Structure 1
Amino acid sequence: MKIVPIVFFVFGVLLLSCKQQNTVNEKPLGSLEKVENGQKYLYATPEAWKNIEENFKGKGKFASVNFLKFKPMADYTGIEVSDKQIGKTGKEVYQHYIKLVKEIIEEYNYGRVIYFGESNSFFVGPEYEQWDGFILVEYESVEDFVNFIRSDEYAKIAPHRTASLDDTRLLPSTRF
């Protein structure tokens, strides 16, 4: 199965990238919080958006590899969304969010969710680096990814992501 080597490659690249520092961006893309052992990440910086559009444009299929750390309980403080999932865990709200993401991606033929599942510590990697979940999404192109993220439909559901996630990493990828 071709996906297994890709996943192992992505894990390795992610481990290396987690050691690099990121900068804080301003809203509407979001803000970051400092924690004891490092930086939390929820949103891409303007520079990251520019980089992804420049470096992946015209290269065909595009995948996003996402590591997820959920909030114990979803937090909608200061977040406007029509269908708040009050009293649910971050994991439950993220599952709701992914259901909505799948609907949009499939309806507009942006791509597909290849895999979404639970995880914890790395098999190969630092013991302190732990994630609650992992999702791999394949888009027809980086342009489809950008169109999806910037769509009105996505804007309506994105607050669930913010309410549910404590930290995340997103690694973009194209085929060799």
Structure 2
Amino acid sequence: MNEQYHLNMNPGQVSDFANSASENPVVMLNMVKYKALVPETGMTGKESYKEYMRQATPFFLKANAEIVFYGSPKHTLIGPEDDTLWDDVLIVKYNSVSDFMTMIMAKGYPSNLREQALGDSRLIHCTPNQKN
């Protein structure tokens, strides 16, 4: 089995996302799997991710981002029993696509720390369904 690990954004998907130019709130689902050890820091992936979050906080605040949920999955009630659960899951709300893009493109944004801490991740843009 050829497993794929994802740490960096897909340029084509980012371009489509950025060009959606919606000024509606943006919700991002983050699923992360930490490295056991980060060679560059000597810390665990979870410790390194905590440092990423600490350094990213000013960027989140400037973007008016809101962490709606940050926690750890515990049980898979629907799905394959042998699926490996993600270490942590975050749901983050931004006011707009442009706020998110400005944040991640800002000088000094610590994306390298996020990449160092993780062995695998998903970042999924979600939109609300229309009410009938």
TMscore range, shorter length: 0.7 to 0.9
Relative to the length of structure 2, the TM-score reads: 0.86
- The answer to whether the aligner puts 1:43 opposite 2:8 as a matched pair is yes
| TM-score normalised per structure 1 | 0.66
Equivalent position amino acid for 1:134 in 2: V
8 Å Cα contact 1:102/1:113 also seen in 2: no
Question: CA separation in 2, counterparts of 1:101 and 1:123?
Answer: 33
Pick from 85, 91, 99 the counterpart of residue 136 of structure 1. Answer: 91
Structure-2 residue corresponding to 1:52: 17
For the Cα contact (< 8 Å) 1:72–1:90, is it kept in 2? yes
Partner residue of 2:120 out of 167, 171, 174: 167
Distance 2:118 2:91 in 1: 16
Distance, in Å, in 1 between the alignment partners of 2:114 and 2:78 is 28
Distance 2:87 2:2 in 1: 17
Asked whether 1:146 is paired with 2:105, we answer no
2:89 paired with 1:125: no
Q: Which residue type is aligned with residue 39 of structure 2?
A: D
2:70 equivalent in structure 1: 116
Q: Per the alignment, do residues 122 and 102 of structure 1 end up closer, same or farther by CA in structure 2, a change over 3 Å counting? A: farther
What CA distance in whole angstroms lies between the structure 2 residues aligned with 1:124 and 1:100? 36
- The alpha-carbon deviation at position 103 of structure 1 amounts to 2.5
What code does the residue aligned with 2:104 have?
I
Structure 1 pair 61–162 and aligned structure 2 pair: CA distance change class (3 A): same
Question: Per-residue deviation at 1:59?
Answer: 4.3
User: Of the candidates 45, 61, 82, which is equivalent to residue 25 of structure 2?
Assistant: 61
Per the alignment, residue 34 of structure 2 pairs with: 70
- Counterpart code for 2:69: Y
Identity within the alignment, %: 27
Q: CA deviation at 1:125?
A: 2.1
Whole-angstrom CA distance in 2 between matches of 1:109 and 1:168: 22
Per-residue deviation, residues 69-106 of structure 1 (Å, max 9, x unmatched) = 00001232xxxxxxxxx221001110121122223211
Cα RMSD over matched residues? Answer: 1.7
Q: Which runs of 5+ in 2 are unaligned?
A: none
Greater relative CO, 1 or 2 (CA 8 Å, sep 6+): 2
Q: Which residue of 2 aligns with 1:93?
A: 48
Task: Return the letter of the residue paired with 1:132.
Answer: D
More helix by percentage:
1
Q: Classify 1:37/1:121 alpha carbon distance in 2 versus 1 (closer, same or farther; 3 Å).
A: farther
